[in-house]
Structure 1
Amino acid sequence: MARIKIVHTTAYHYRSPVGLARHRLMLRPDDSHDLRLHEAFLEVDPQPSLIHWAHDAYDNSICLLEWPASLRAERLRIVSTLDLTHHPDGPPAPVYALDPSAEAFPFSYDLEDFPDVARLAERQLRDPDRTVHAWARRFVADVRNARTLPVLEAMTHAIKAEFRYEARHAEGTQTAAETLALGAGTCRDFAVLMMEAVRSFGVAARFVTGYLYEDTSGTTRGGGSTHAWCSVYLPGAGWVEYDPTNGLIAGANLIRVGMTRSAAQAIPVAGGYVGAAGDADGLYVDVAVTGARS
């Protein structure tokens, strides 16, 4: 297990004083069997008039910030500090941990699970030329010998090996088809590609946003900012996490904060301002993750 401290700083600068619209934050993880949150601090300058905590439709912890309509500010600074202990699950359990019906890939969900995962098993993005469909089928070329865990592991490692990682600070996420055409993307793009590939078989997947720690090898990608990966629902094993950006499996070195159906629903800091279009004068984001094994 690892004791982790995360300091996530987001700072906006404006050329002229502006009003601040409501902001929505997805920065705080929930306690679980593999994560214990000891303390969480949130510093905001200028100070909001209202701070409201809620759970979204996926039970993620959400913070809403509001300021007086009369307020004018030349900057907005949000600092989230987390102190937690992570107990990573390690690699997926052996195949016998899966329900027998899920050992061969692709598989179908039983009548008990299907209503709860059906929307997550649907393709969410257009693939007019069926390029994502074709790319995904290469991992089950020999259907008779396709096994679920090896197929998902191969898909995870293929994305890491075959695509260029390119940091991009602009808003938005590429479609899976765009990532295939470009041969490059960010961690968010790679997570979406794997989700859409898995969903093309009718298998449920979720987008995960959070943080990457122990980036000491010099080979991992996505440190210094928020990170994104996906999780796949496997009967018997539950939700298993896959990070195609780094080839990590089952949550190793990954601190999840939010889980959603789409990437657009998992923005760590979202909001706007009241002013002219040209008033925005820069965005600064920094994530510092420190910790030690215990």
Structure 2
Amino acid sequence: MKYRIHHKTVYHYTEPVRRSVHELRLAPRSGPLQSVADWQLNVPGNLTEARDGFGNIVHNFTMAGPARRIAIAATGEVEVRTGEGGHQAFHDLPEAGEARVSPLYFMTGTPLTQAPADLQGFAAPYLAAGHDMPALLALADGVATRVRYKANTTDVGTSAADAFRLGSGVCQDQAQVMVAACRALGIPARYVSGYFYDPAATAMASHAWTDICLDADQGLWCSIDVTHRCVTDTRHVRLAVGRDYASAAPIRGILEGGAGETLEVDISIAPVA
């Protein structure tokens, strides 16, 4: 499948922003599961580009104010393909000359992905015999049942432990609970941000899911969407990976001034013939 994607984020302020610094993970990279044919960013400043230790494309820009509106737009085309065994597994290894962290780096928790005893106890029976695909999908189904999808019950600062105890959240929370559960049992897992194409949806939104390492030496991973209780497929477009939401967030910024912030997000995804 090939998609044309447009993602626009507009921040409005009642008091002007005097100065701001922004970090973007809004440019997908080509890899084992997708090819990026064209991608453009439009921002109110000069962009610099780099790669982080996870292999993500990272852009930065600084804006000198005053400004009551900051608009950031990303547009491009991505072709998504299946992995080995129909998207069951894929090798994600650094390119020649690229420095990237080991998959084992994704075994340690973060403030957003700590797994207290109750979460560990919940996950352990699912993976008692190993972490093959059926076991991981069973765990994902258990997480989706335990942390029911419900909008507006959490925010970007909600931890996996909090969402697990609350029993509800959005895709970000379900993905972080899955990450926390795997890491607590000694399995490298990483958070993935991206897009999900649903032809029946009236409005598109960003999405999140989980990569789980099957073989660290070979860089072999599988990718599971907890929200949809499935292995990812050609409906999923990857933007960035990280240890949690904070390290894979599409947009992060530091502002001087800028009180009274409100946000508009418009995402469109259309198949390309």
SS at match of 2:239: strand
| Structure-1 residue corresponding to 2:226 | 244
Task: Return closer, same or farther for 1:170/1:79 CA change in 2, 3 Å cut-off.
Answer: farther
Distance 1:170 1:283 in 2: 17
Distance 1:6 1:91 in 2: 22
Conserved 8 A contact 2:88-2:223: no
SS at match of 1:118: helix
Distance 1:284 1:217 in 2: 18
Matched, 1:268 2:250: yes
Matched, 1:60 2:52: no
Which of 102, 109, 125 aligns to 1:138? It is 125
Distance 2:146 2:106 in 1: 26
Distance 1:24 1:168 in 2: 25
Distance 2:30 2:249 in 1: 20
Letter in 1 for 2:104: A
Equivalence map 1:102-181=2 (5 Å): 116-124=102-110, 125-128=113-116, 130-140=117-127, 143=129, 148-168=132-152, 171-181=155-165
Which structure's CA Rg is the greater one? Answer: 1
Conserved 8 A contact 1:88-1:253: no
Structure with bigger strand share is 2
Structure 1 residue runs of 5 or longer lacking an equivalent are 98-114
| Structure-2 residue corresponding to 1:36 | 35
TM-score in terms of structure 1 length: 0.79
Task: Return closer, same or farther for 1:55/1:147 CA change in 2, 3 Å cut-off.
Answer: closer
Q: By how many angstroms is 1:6 displaced?
A: 0.9
Task: Return closer, same or farther for 1:204/1:140 CA change in 2, 3 Å cut-off.
Answer: closer
TM-score in terms of structure 2 length: 0.85
Q: By how many angstroms is 1:119 displaced?
A: 2.5
SS at match of 1:22: strand
Task: Return closer, same or farther for 1:33/1:281 CA change in 2, 3 Å cut-off.
Answer: closer
Task: Return closer, same or farther for 1:217/1:6 CA change in 2, 3 Å cut-off.
Answer: closer
SS at match of 2:102: helix
Distance 1:260 1:18 in 2: 29
Matched, 1:73 2:72: no
Task: Return closer, same or farther for 1:13/1:170 CA change in 2, 3 Å cut-off.
Answer: farther
| Structure-2 residue corresponding to 1:191 | 175
Task: Return closer, same or farther for 1:79/1:159 CA change in 2, 3 Å cut-off.
Answer: same
Task: Return closer, same or farther for 1:152/1:26 CA change in 2, 3 Å cut-off.
Answer: same
Conserved 8 A contact 1:229-1:243: yes
Matched, 1:208 2:195: no
Conserved 8 A contact 1:25-1:63: yes
Conserved 8 A contact 1:208-1:260: yes
Conserved 8 A contact 1:214-1:291: no
Of all paired residues, the percent bearing the same amino acid is 26
Structure 2 residue runs of 5 or longer lacking an equivalent are 91-100
SS at match of 1:197: helix
Distance 2:266 2:62 in 1: 23
Q: How many residues get paired?
A: 258
| Structure-1 residue corresponding to 2:47 | 51
Letter in 2 for 1:77: A
Task: Return closer, same or farther for 1:159/1:215 CA change in 2, 3 Å cut-off.
Answer: farther
